[in-house]
Chains A and B, each alone.
Chain A
């Protein structure tokens, strides 16, 4: 390892912030992937992978992804819930790889709800 200069120090800081930002609290969007037995059977695992891939590509750090159990609407799985800070959550159902990528780009990044895939707006939240 070469000796660092102050600029190197700043670079390391930015690079590692990326990896540790989850611990800092404060986020703009929370995406919950429903991963109950029904969700997993319907392919929520793949949805999670696509989602993480999109976040990685978009290089944004203000989004957190969590999982939850069955959302109680098993026939519409895979489902995700997207909560933008200060807005009611939106649930999307019958997802595919393509749909979740579109939802991510339009809803999460640009703030436009993708009406055609949305099931419901506003409902219970979980921690």
Chain B
């Protein structure tokens, strides 16, 4: 073996592959060969780095240099400069928004600086398809410890003491769940992993499964020992082909190495794990529905009790944990409960991974200690709102969550505090919205989702959400009535208290939180026929503010209807008869001169003139 002097880690997550990282990898290998560097510099395709919007991402070790948006075209210059001549290339480095200077070192980039990596500790540092690289970073050491030095009771105690709570949404204490199942009688028990990441706007679990598939297996081995399970399934969304591929490879490798199967590590412990592909039903994220789906049936929830810990998959005692929960477990076993509790708050310990998306500058996957204020996440890590826009709300918890406004941004991210705002931590989707988003429309979007995904078993969810959605459609299309807001609130509370499963019980949250914090917007829609964000096209009129317009002609050039007229350097004008309200001018204008008025603003004017 030749001495390796440098490792190039190129991100091979779904996002970066879509942006061209595979081509860049091929070009890179080719170029290194050309310069006769292939023996001393390695190229590794890693899992998701997290900073997806800047992809493809490349990190060069040992210098720790971070490059973004690396395409195959950039490779010759990069290799020549960095690897032959040793001059890191500023052109490809990250630049802070509104600042010109490049930030070369990964951990100095604000996006990464505030993060603490635990569940994602191997992200970007290992080749997910090589079990040895996982082992090199203490992989399977926790499983070895659990299998040889600990009794099931010891493991449950450590988990309970750590305070780890389910990262999939509900936040139920993991150790407690294991204890219930460990106490259940039965010679066959199942350990399941929920990788059916259904919340739109969330991709934490995809990232873990792609970047570090073995950590999921190791977590499952430890859990299996704790509850006495001998068979396991990982339920993954079929929409995540790369995660499926990497997990299957990981399972095959672990079987080959005797880390799964019979007599694991020579300890006499047996565990078989199989992959099971979901088929696209949001409700299958609910545990009883997921189990029905593995049984090959329609994924419909069943009432609890009996709880899965007593009667789960095929009526056998079963524990289901989410991917991120498993990713935390090996480190807890190795470092102890106190280490885990050293971060976070008393009731919400450790770290949590969030998918930060939407109107922020830095989009991607982040892991932060629990208890960090929302503001730090959005404005320090996320780099604030894109230029010229104003923060309006952050949506947490997907269709089960809610929208949190500006004056609650100091709220620390813990299960309890977020719950008090009306949202939930959920699985970790965090979508930031600016003033170009209409909150009534956002509520409609989520109800659209839940009505579509309701399994139809219980009527409060099946019919109730449909009625709510129809009301919201009415409001966004100008048919709203004054009493609709109260009706929505009323119905929401009924659905929450009478639905069978978590999907229905949380479905009204997006509506309730938007009414709570943005009631004025609902009223504007109903009373004035005005969607100030210009999203509900039936409730908006686009016009140009003559004083703000600089006559740059950009809007006129981009209008697909040629509805905008005006001379250069003179105020432009929108012909309302031609306007299709596509918002193009509104988004293109650099001076904020395109404004949104109520739907009947010109009719009114006419009337006023007449009067």
Contacts and interface: CB of A to CB of B under 8 A. Distances in A.
Contacts of B40: 48, 52
Interface stretch (B14-22, B78-86, B178-186, B435-443): B78-86
A53 B3 contact: yes
B64 A5 contact: no
A68 B83 CA distance: 8
A23 B135 contact: no
Contacts of A25: 62, 64
B35 to A, nearest CB: 10
Given A56-B3, A127-B88, A22 B62 contact: yes
Nearest to B134: A16
Interface size range of chain A in the complex? 35 or more
A23 B9 contact: yes
B323 interface: no
B300 to A, nearest CB: 41
A66 B63 contact: yes
A33 B320 CA distance: 54
Interface in B23-47: 36, 40, 42
A25 B57 CA distance: 19
A119 B141 CA distance: 48
B3 A16 contact: no
B543 interface: no
A20 B133 contact: yes
A3 B62 contact: no
Given A52-B2, A64-B62, A68-B85, A3 B263 contact: yes
B123 to A, nearest CB: 11
B85 A36 contact: yes
Interface in B253-267: 256-259, 263, 265-266
Given A6-B266, A9-B265, A12-B132, A19 B84 contact: no
A4 B265 contact: yes
Interface in A19-39: 19-20, 22-23, 25, 27, 32-36
Interface of chain B, helix or strand or loop or mixed?
loop
Interface size range of chain B in the complex? 35 or more
B15 to A, nearest CB: 21
B4 A22 contact: yes
Nearest to B267: A6
Contacts of A69: 85-87
Nearest to A70: B85
B601 interface: no
B1 A68 contact: no
Question: Which of A2, A16, A17 counts the most chain B CB atoms within 10 A?
Answer: A16
Contact of A13 (B2, B135, B265): B135
A123 interface: no
Contacts of B259: 4
B578 interface: no
Contacts of B65: 127
Contact of B144 (A9, A17, A67): A9
B115 to A, nearest CB: 15
26 contacts: A1-B256, A1-B257, A3-B263, A3-B265, A4-B265, A5-B265, A5-B266, A6-B265, A6-B266, A13-B135, A13-B138, A13-B141, A16-B133, A16-B135, A16-B136, A19-B42, A20-B133, A22-B6, A23-B125, A33-B86, A56-B2, A64-B62, A64-B63, A66-B86, A67-B85, A69-B86
- List the 4 shortest-distance A-B pairs measured between CB atoms, nearest first: A3-B258, A67-B86, A68-B86, A16-B136
